Structure 1
């Protein structure tokens, strides 16, 4: 049984009714990640994986999604990959700011300057992503904005993978790197899925702002189209 909030208080309703009440038909178009979150699965999934590997995996997926947008043969497919790209980049960026950049500051010599540089680069990406997420493929600025966004993001990725992440791994042990990887993966499940460039970019204020924005973002995601499973193979 579930407890259902009403204007007169709480009352119990059958599980089947409660499940149907929160599953609109549009859920069929949302990413597979919109499933109940099992924290034990999340924590164990990153076990033995370095945080730099987890971040590089995201970078590779973002690059592929960018290429998929460009190569899409029809507008529907292009929109699906656009939504996936936005969804992944927004979550990735915020999770880095909450989990990884504070680790730069704590463990890496000159880590604060490194983290501040990365936050500034993120702000540029967030501003461009905010413009891109409002566009449709028929917009004349769609491709130029996407290319400008990817140019800024790929430069950031190159610096992060070539300089920042190796410096972090050099100053932490494998066990702690694995804990950061777990925290990074977990955090991605609870942060906004759209760009909010005016939001704070440092915890705890970023965390608080994210808790306010996340429910609305996820509600909007329920009515968007995302790539089908056979498109991701």
Structure 2
């Protein structure tokens, strides 16, 4: 079985995000919790995807020559705009007046960016790199995914070598933030109501404890 190359991997990411977009669009106006959950997934997927392109794909493309540099610079600017929208959506309640509008603008921007990459950039990348190079790039992209920040950081540098250091620091900060969120969710979970046993149940429990005590004496 042939391993996936870089372009196939990035297109798979695009497909994952588009599926989330469509689920958001299909959710009813009252599906606030579902929409909030979908946006959290969208934020995570796009934050990771942007970073791995910036750390691996774009530098490799620019290193091949000046022909594709203008497209890469445009892509970096599109990432920059998307990151600011992701940052604003990260903690925005789904009840907020501009929540749905902001998600719609994000989707429009990302879809335009994806169309540009898949129609113009990726075909030229496939011509510029050998199949072996593209498979090696896929391995690098997968490695970058494992260490990538899971939250948007629009102020962080987006070109090497600075983005490699910033990405590592941001990933650690994101893990801490995620841990805090998990703890908060646990705190806000409704506590189980303590049920006081009825008198017959208390008697049965007492009898059971008595039998346990008798058994322990026999051991």
TM bracket, shorter-chain basis: 0.7 to 0.9
In the alignment, the residues of structure 1 paired with residue 48 and residue 65 of structure 2 have an alpha-carbon distance, to the nearest angstrom, of: 24
Q: Deviations over 1:82-108 (max 9, x none)?
A: 111111100000100000001111225
Q: Is the Cα contact below 8 Å between 1:104 and 1:114 reproduced in 2? A: no
Q: Is the Cα contact below 8 Å between 1:70 and 1:78 reproduced in 2? A: no
Match of 2:149 among 161, 168, 192: 192
Q: CA deviation at 1:155?
A: 0.6
Q: What's the secondary structure of 1:217's corresponding residue?
A: helix
- Equivalent residue, structure 2, for 1:133: 90
Task: Give the count of matched residue pairs.
Answer: 180
- The correspondence of residues 21-100 of structure 1 with structure 2, limited to 5 A, is 48-73=3-28, 74-100=31-57
In the alignment, the residues of structure 1 paired with residue 111 and residue 178 of structure 2 have an alpha-carbon distance, to the nearest angstrom, of: 25
- The correspondence of residues 141-220 of structure 1 with structure 2, limited to 5 A, is 141-220=98-177
Q: Is the Cα contact below 8 Å between 2:33 and 2:94 reproduced in 1? A: no
In the alignment, the residues of structure 2 paired with residue 72 and residue 182 of structure 1 have an alpha-carbon distance, to the nearest angstrom, of: 36
Q: CA deviation at 1:183?
A: 0.8
Q: CA deviation at 1:109?
A: 4.6
In the alignment, the residues of structure 2 paired with residue 134 and residue 196 of structure 1 have an alpha-carbon distance, to the nearest angstrom, of: 14
Q: TM-score, normalised by structure 1?
A: 0.73
Q: CA deviation at 1:187?
A: 0.4
Q: What's the secondary structure of 2:97's corresponding residue?
A: coil
In the alignment, the residues of structure 1 paired with residue 126 and residue 66 of structure 2 have an alpha-carbon distance, to the nearest angstrom, of: 12
In the alignment, the residues of structure 1 paired with residue 16 and residue 155 of structure 2 have an alpha-carbon distance, to the nearest angstrom, of: 26
Q: CA deviation at 1:135?
A: 0.8
In the alignment, the residues of structure 2 paired with residue 99 and residue 136 of structure 1 have an alpha-carbon distance, to the nearest angstrom, of: 33
Q: CA deviation at 1:117?
A: 1.3
4+ residue runs of structure 1 moved beyond 4 angstroms? Answer: none
Where structure 2 has 5 or more consecutive residues not aligned to the other structure, the ranges are 186-219
Q: CA deviation at 1:203?
A: 1.3
- Equivalent residue, structure 2, for 1:106: 63
Structure number having the greater strand percentage:
1
Structure number having the greater helix percentage:
2
Q: Is the Cα contact below 8 Å between 2:89 and 2:102 reproduced in 1? A: yes
Where structure 1 has 5 or more consecutive residues not aligned to the other structure, the ranges are 1-44, 226-233
Please report the RMSD computed on the Cα atoms of aligned residues, expressed in angstroms.
Answer: 1.8
In the alignment, the residues of structure 2 paired with residue 78 and residue 172 of structure 1 have an alpha-carbon distance, to the nearest angstrom, of: 40
